[in-house]
Amino acid sequence: MNLDAIIESAVAFSSDGIGAILLKVFTALYDVFYPSNAEAATPVEIPA
């Protein structure tokens, strides 16, 4: 299995046409659902 050929085809797909549009859409969705300025998770105390 040639990893270089697989990566090259993936880069070529995401550079032009529908691949570039899909990349931008998924990047925007990722930015919305996982914001970089989110606060760190803190433990929630459960009453006994």
Residue 21 Cα to chain centre, angstroms: 14
Residue type, 10: A
Instruction: Give pLDDT, residue 29.
Output: 96
Separation of alpha carbons 3 and 45, rounded Å: 47
Residue 41 DSSP symbol: P
Domain boundaries, the chain: 3-33
The verdict on pTM exceeding 0.85 is no
How many Å separate Cα 47 from the centre of its chain?
37
The pLDDT score that the predictor gives to residue 41 is 80
Six token digits for residue 42: 């803190």
Look up residue 3 and give its amino acid.
L
**1-46: pLDDT as tens digits:** 789 998 998 888 888 888 889 989 999 999 999 887 767 788 889 8
